[in-house]
């Protein structure tokens, strides 16, 4: 199974999580990298990823949590 690295940017901080899965968006593993107080404000964690233009095996999504933007980048690392 491929290794996926999730890089999250929220409120000026960066969080990183890695997991081996069959695909990058069927699981909400990226949530584990965030503090519990942020996780509870996230709805629909599985959908919304779009390919990053001019990059291979990189997807990104952004969502609003407590009126702040959270950006999640998923990278197939191997």
Tens digit of each residue's pLDDT (9 = 90 or more) over 4-53: 999 999 999 999 999 998 888 777 788 888 888 888 888 888 778 999 99
Please compute the mean of the pLDDT values over residues 48-72 and round it to a whole number.
Answer: 94
41 secondary structure, DSSP code: T
Structure confidence at residue 78 (pLDDT)? 78
Q: What are phi and psi of 32, to 5 degrees?
A: -60, -25
Say yes or no to pLDDT of 74 above 90. Answer: yes
DSSP conformation letters of 9-26:
EETTEEEEEEEE-SSSSS
Neighbouring residues of 64: CB distance < 8 A, sequence distance ≥ 6 = 70
- E-strand ranges in 30-67 read 50-51, 58-65
């Amino acid at each position: 199974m491929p290794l996926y690295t999730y890089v999250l940017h929220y409120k000026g901080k960066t969080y990183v999580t890695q997991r081996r899965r069959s695909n990058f968006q069927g699981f909400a593993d990226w949530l584990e990298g965030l503090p519990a107080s942020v996780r509870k404000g996230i709805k629909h964690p599985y959908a919304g990823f779009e390919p990053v233009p001019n990059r291979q095996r990189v997807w990104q999504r952004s969502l609003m949590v407590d009126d702040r933007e959270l950006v999640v980048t998923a990278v197939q690392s191997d």
